[in-house]
């Protein structure tokens, strides 16, 4: 449950969307733009090399740690519709993260529920 996860200190949301989606500049057709409060932002492209392959494991671990996405927490990935979020789960599982899940409805649901809190930065 997304609402319950917002209150858990052992939980982190990883937003894989673009910077303009994250800040709310581009709401991608939802009623509101922005991101889930407290979410960590690391765009999915930033975990790839210029040739489209994954960055080396030590670099991936450092990128995720710097973004606050650590293996000691439950990590929920999200994007706009779940596709990029699934990509994030794939990477986390390759790195050995155990407590991971995809918010499959992602921002296309969250951004349209007016009762949910939204952050913009």
Catalytic residues, by residue number, are 79
pTM: 0.94
| pLDDT of res. 1 | 83
| pLDDT of res. 121 | 78
Please determine, for residue 53, whether its predicted confidence score (pLDDT) is greater than 90: yes
Residue 58: in which H helix or E strand, if any?
helix 57-67
Cβ–Cβ under 8 Å, residues 45 and 53: no
Cβ–Cβ under 8 Å, residues 15 and 35: yes
Task: Give the span between the Cα atoms of 78 and 49, in whole angstroms.
Answer: 21
Task: Give the span between the Cα atoms of 102 and 14, in whole angstroms.
Answer: 10
Please determine, for residue 105, whether its predicted confidence score (pLDDT) is greater than 90: yes
**How many residues are there in the chain?**
121
Task: Give the span between the Cα atoms of 77 and 74, in whole angstroms.
Answer: 10
| pLDDT of res. 15 | 98
| pLDDT of res. 26 | 92
* Domains of the chain from N-terminus onward: 2-110 (3.40.250.10)
Task: Give the span between the Cα atoms of 9 and 102, in whole angstroms.
Answer: 18
Please determine, for residue 33, whether its predicted confidence score (pLDDT) is greater than 90: yes
Tell me the sheet residues that pair with 102: 77
Average pLDDT over residues 68-79: 97
Q: Is 92 helix (H, G, I), strand (E, B) or coil?
A: helix
Please determine, for residue 106, whether its predicted confidence score (pLDDT) is greater than 90: yes
């Amino acid at each position: 449950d997304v609402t319950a996860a917002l209150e858990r200190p052992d939980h982190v949301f990883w937003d894989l969307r673009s910077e303009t989606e994250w800040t709310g500049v581009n709401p991608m057709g939802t009623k509101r733009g922005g991101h889930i409060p407290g979410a960590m932002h690391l765009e999915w492209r930033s975990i790839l090399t210029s040739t489209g392959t994954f960055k080396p494991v030590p670099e991936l671990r450092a990128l995720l740690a710097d973004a606050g996405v650590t293996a000691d927490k439950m990590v929920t990935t999200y994007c706009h519709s779940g596709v990029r979020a699934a990509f994030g789960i794939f990477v986390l599982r390759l790195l050995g993260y155990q407590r991971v899940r995809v918010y499959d409805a992602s921002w296309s649901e969250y951004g349209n529920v007016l009762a949910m809190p939204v952050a913009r930065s």
